[in-house]
Structure 1
Amino acid sequence: MSDANAKGAVTGHDWWAMLPDPAFLENPYPQLQALREQGPIHLDEKSGIYFVLGHEAFARIVKAPQMGRDTRTWKNGWYNDDFKHRDPVGYRLFDQFQHQMINRDGADHQRMRGMWESSFKAPAMKDLVPMIEAEAARLLECLPDQGPVDLIKAFAGPMPLRVLCNLFDLSEASDDDIHRWSASLIRVGDIMMTAEQKQEALDALDCFKGFLRQLLAERRARHDPSLLSVIIKAEDEGQLTEEETLVNMVSMLIAGHETTVTLIGNGLLLLLKNPEQMERLRADPTLVRPAVEEFLRAEPGGNMILRVALEDFAVAGTTIPAGAPVIGMIGAINRDPARFDDPDSIDVGRASNAHFTFGGGPHICLGAPLARLEGQIAFTALLKRWPKITLDGVPEWRLDRLNARGLATLPVRVG
């Protein structure tokens, strides 16, 4: 049973039992719906974390200047001497990630984000279309005209990584290392990490930074013309420190890759489960833009988005105190019937689709335009490549991470 506390939030739910539960990771929506029906904001009294499940409440939170993203403001969080003494590995890991733009607020956030923004706006995206189309075509040409295929392994996984590596002019020889480091570091977005996972992530971060440090030194010497030239210029002119340069590059390579892997895999699974929508998209390829937004809404590639209250903030009848962490449960927010008609149904032509898969406010995902473009090109190419795609087994969800939500396998039969 749940009840509302004096500040208006619902209490009584065991979040720490639910979040790592394989049944929840495979299908979080029934439990999230039941919790949202109890109230838009829940409080875990033991940790002091507020969980937000309502669309209107989360919309206010991500846009409010009283809400930030710097986890050093988290009262009783990791940024104190007691945590540093109890968990030195965790402290080192989180401290290094503070040099990432998403973990800063105000002027520091704008300074770091400003360096990247022009490279991810619409005009720059248009210039990338031929390269992305070529990568999609190259991968699909290697696959059979008929028969079984695992589309995560064969297409959804490698395509986004190749696109990002092309942006940074990285050869395929680095793909395996980047994929391995990313798999360890993606767990930093989880609320819960074991001691072993923290050490693994810290080791991966050290290796990743060493690789990028050497790369930048080599490219600086030969005046590299790729996106790296923008990064090198920003560091040389003092807009970024070396540590900010390296950690933000790590973040871009991880998030930019994983976001699109989950978009393609999760979206294709939705089409396979809703064949009438797949045929509708085949019949009208111009629907690919709203279709991608619908995939992002209905099967987001992340379970949680974090904010921290910089001062007391009242929302949906609840006062969130300064220093309290706030976690938006995106699967609930994106399927809130108060905002979306028939939210559990898939509509590739859905007109009004104000989902929060990419967050919102000043910290909205910088790479969202690239992920959207890759998704549109990927689905167009997939449906053109094969006149028929059907499930050929049971897809497996990744159960080794709590936040990033994607498939480990997607077995299909093409023909």
Structure 2
Amino acid sequence: MATDTSGIDDANQRAEDALMALLMPPHPIDPFPHYETLRSVNRVHQSKTLGVWALSGHAEATEFLKRPDVHSGARVAGQMRPDWADHSSLRLYLNSMVALNQPDHSRVRVLASRVFTPSKIKSMQPVVERLTRGLVDGLAEKAAGGEPVDLVEALATPFPVAVICEMLGMPFSDGERLWELSDDWSRVFAGMFSDEDLERANTAADELSSYFKNAIHERRATPREDLLTSFVKEADGGRLDEEELIALILFLFTAGFSATTNLIAAGMAALLDHPDELALWRKDKSITASAVEELLRYSTHNTASSRLTTQPVTVGGTEIPEGVLVLALLAAANRDPERFPDPHRLILTRDDGPHLSLSAGAHFCFGGTLARMEAAELFPALIDTFSEIELAKEPERRGVMGITSYATLPLALRR
């Protein structure tokens, strides 16, 4: 008697369709229904169409990312393009810390950790406080006439750019242009991009490289008390070549603002969608630490982290073969109901354990301490300064494979 497998085939096709919707343009602004479909069918899903595996559960993604025997999928994906070495944007990206494999990853990460230390980040607290006060006051002036103010343009972008510029020792006037270039360069990070995106990314990478080459030469001639000088000294000790140094500085600059920019915009949007939680934070600032963690979980910036298996591995009871690309879907993991009860609700006092917004394992984001500091200073200042915060009109969002963000967040603000 034949076995009816139509239900199984239908389920697999639904999972396949969901993953295709997530990975292929146009990328969805709201990916969570697709994540839920994947999880409901198989938390460890093999896509025969795309030749990748996808992990949508928190336990499975965490287990896999912490394995020491997997390679950076970002590097592998980049090298799938035969002419990658002919494109400055791809060469820079594949030389950056996030795309390196061992032993190069540890070599560069250890160097970065010697410069980007917890004490250095802590020393930035007065700078963060000063910039917060100045930008929030400026926001209040812009909103005083009753006109809507775009939080992305007026605060979410300039605030983290100003912080990382101060740390590196660069003028903010340069930082504004470097932010635009970094945004264009980041178009190739997801691994799927158009020819137009690649052309813009290459142009941006060339200008960024030229700028930082000049800055590096200046620091060698006239050292300063800044992170850029510290990185140059470490590199000149024989630990990095020139291209690796530029890639490291560029990646830290880009990572230093992009995650925080998204956290500010997406975090505020989430608070407006949960007015009771916003009211609670206004009333009780002692919840700030847990509130920032919950905003990080809820508004996951980097939605996927990829790895290549170097041997057969078992994840969540499922064997994944050697030599395949595996996507740990971080945003899906952060909304896994088995890990976070009522996952689609923002609960600022939530205490359900660590999220994966900063990834896990060897590629865990060590810049998270700075992002937390910035958010813990900025959000209380915003909600204390403005008694009323409302959406003025529908925001614009941008969906790209691997990253979701707000292009605009128009707000009506009243003191």
Q: Does 1:98 align with 2:94?
A: yes
What's the TM-score, normalizing by structure 1? 0.91
User: 1:110 — aligned with what?
Assistant: 106
CA deviations over 1:194-230 (Å, ceiling 9, x no partner): 1221122122112101100001111221111111121
Aligned partner of residue 314 in structure 1, secondary structure: strand
Give the Cα–Cα distance (whole angstroms) in 2 for the partners of residues 184 and 235 of structure 1. Answer: 27
Deviates more, 1:363-372 or 1:384-393: 384-393
Task: Trace 1:61-72 onto structure 2 (pairs within 5 A).
Answer: 61-69=64-72, 71=74
Q: What's the offset of the Cα at 1:126?
A: 1.9
User: Which residue identity lines up with residue 54 of structure 2 in the other structure?
Assistant: F
CA deviations over 1:24-48 (Å, ceiling 9, x no partner): 6321112211221111122221331
User: 1:409 — aligned with what?
Assistant: 408
Give the Cα–Cα distance (whole angstroms) in 2 for the partners of residues 21 and 212 of structure 1. Answer: 33
User: Which residue identity lines up with residue 79 of structure 1 in the other structure?
Assistant: Q
Q: What's the offset of the Cα at 1:390?
A: 1.5
Deviates more, 1:383-392 or 1:357-366: 383-392
Q: What's the offset of the Cα at 1:21?
A: 5.6
Give the Cα–Cα distance (whole angstroms) in 2 for the partners of residues 297 and 9 of structure 1. Answer: 29
What's the C-alpha RMSD, in Å, of the aligned pairs?
Answer: 2.3
Give the Cα–Cα distance (whole angstroms) in 2 for the partners of residues 274 and 71 of structure 1. Answer: 35
Tell me if the contact between 1:41 and 1:318 (Cα under 8 Å) persists in the aligned partners: yes
Q: Does 1:26 align with 2:25?
A: no
Where in structure 2 are there 5+ consecutive unaligned residues?
1-5
Residues 382 and 374 (structure 1 numbering): CA distance in 2 closer, same or farther, change over 3 Å? same
Give the Cα–Cα distance (whole angstroms) in 2 for the partners of residues 126 and 18 of structure 1. Answer: 38
Residues 320 and 9 (structure 1 numbering): CA distance in 2 closer, same or farther, change over 3 Å? farther
Q: Does 1:84 align with 2:82?
A: yes
Deviates more, 1:166-175 or 1:42-51: 42-51
Residues 124 and 10 (structure 1 numbering): CA distance in 2 closer, same or farther, change over 3 Å? farther
CA deviations over 1:88-111 (Å, ceiling 9, x no partner): 656x64344222122222231111
Q: What's the offset of the Cα at 1:327?
A: 1.1
Q: Does 1:286 align with 2:297?
A: no
Give the Cα–Cα distance (whole angstroms) in 2 for the partners of residues 132 and 395 of structure 1. Answer: 27
Give the Cα–Cα distance (whole angstroms) in 2 for the partners of residues 138 and 16 of structure 1. Answer: 44
User: 2:43 — aligned with what?
Assistant: 40
Residues 122 and 237 (structure 1 numbering): CA distance in 2 closer, same or farther, change over 3 Å? closer
Give the Cα–Cα distance (whole angstroms) in 2 for the partners of residues 134 and 164 of structure 1. Answer: 14
Query: Percent identity between the aligned chains?
Result: 28
Task: Trace 1:257-296 onto structure 2 (pairs within 5 A).
Answer: 257-296=257-296
Residues 380 and 78 (structure 1 numbering): CA distance in 2 closer, same or farther, change over 3 Å? closer
Give the Cα–Cα distance (whole angstroms) in 2 for the partners of residues 388 and 128 of structure 1. Answer: 30
What's the TM-score, normalizing by structure 2? 0.91
Residues 175 and 93 (structure 1 numbering): CA distance in 2 closer, same or farther, change over 3 Å? closer
Residues 322 and 11 (structure 1 numbering): CA distance in 2 closer, same or farther, change over 3 Å? farther
Aligned partner of residue 103 in structure 2, secondary structure: helix
Tell me if the contact between 1:308 and 1:323 (Cα under 8 Å) persists in the aligned partners: yes
Task: Trace 1:114-263 onto structure 2 (pairs within 5 A).
Answer: 114-143=110-139, 144=141, 146=144, 147=146, 148-263=148-263
Give the Cα–Cα distance (whole angstroms) in 1 for the partners of residues 64 and 202 of structure 2. Answer: 31
Give the Cα–Cα distance (whole angstroms) in 2 for the partners of residues 20 and 139 of structure 1. Answer: 38
User: 2:3 — aligned with what?
Assistant: none
Q: What's the offset of the Cα at 1:156?
A: 0.7
Tell me if the contact between 2:309 and 2:326 (Cα under 8 Å) persists in the aligned partners: yes
Q: What's the offset of the Cα at 1:179?
A: 1.6
Task: Trace 1:8-27 onto structure 2 (pairs within 5 A).
Answer: 12-13=16-17, 15-20=19-24, 25-27=28-30
Aligned partner of residue 405 in structure 1, secondary structure: strand
Give the Cα–Cα distance (whole angstroms) in 1 for the partners of residues 7 and 163 of structure 2. Answer: 46
User: Which residue identity lines up with residue 367 of structure 2 in the other structure?
Assistant: G
Residues 107 and 20 (structure 1 numbering): CA distance in 2 closer, same or farther, change over 3 Å? closer
User: 1:56 — aligned with what?
Assistant: 59
Aligned partner of residue 406 in structure 1, secondary structure: strand
Tell me if the contact between 2:74 and 2:99 (Cα under 8 Å) persists in the aligned partners: yes
Aligned partner of residue 352 in structure 2, secondary structure: coil
Tell me if the contact between 1:25 and 1:397 (Cα under 8 Å) persists in the aligned partners: no
Tell me if the contact between 1:19 and 1:25 (Cα under 8 Å) persists in the aligned partners: no
Give the Cα–Cα distance (whole angstroms) in 2 for the partners of residues 71 and 151 of structure 1. Answer: 31
Give the Cα–Cα distance (whole angstroms) in 2 for the partners of residues 387 and 12 of structure 1. Answer: 46
CA deviations over 1:254-312 (Å, ceiling 9, x no partner): 11110000011111111111111011001111211111111111111122111111211
Give the Cα–Cα distance (whole angstroms) in 2 for the partners of residues 71 and 29 of structure 1. Answer: 23
Give the Cα–Cα distance (whole angstroms) in 2 for the partners of residues 9 and 290 of structure 1. Answer: 39
User: 1:330 — aligned with what?
Assistant: 330
Tell me if the contact between 2:95 and 2:244 (Cα under 8 Å) persists in the aligned partners: yes
Give the Cα–Cα distance (whole angstroms) in 1 for the partners of residues 7 and 161 of structure 2. Answer: 43
CA deviations over 1:355-378 (Å, ceiling 9, x no partner): 101100011012111111111111
Q: What's the offset of the Cα at 1:70?
A: 5.8
Give the Cα–Cα distance (whole angstroms) in 2 for the partners of residues 191 and 246 of structure 1. Answer: 21
Give the Cα–Cα distance (whole angstroms) in 2 for the partners of residues 2 and 197 of structure 1. Answer: 40
User: Which residue identity lines up with residue 131 of structure 1 in the other structure?
Assistant: V
Give the Cα–Cα distance (whole angstroms) in 1 for the partners of residues 381 and 89 of structure 2. Answer: 39
Q: Does 1:356 align with 2:356?
A: yes
Between Structure 1 and Structure 2, how many residues are aligned?
404
Give the Cα–Cα distance (whole angstroms) in 2 for the partners of residues 2 and 280 of structure 1. Answer: 46
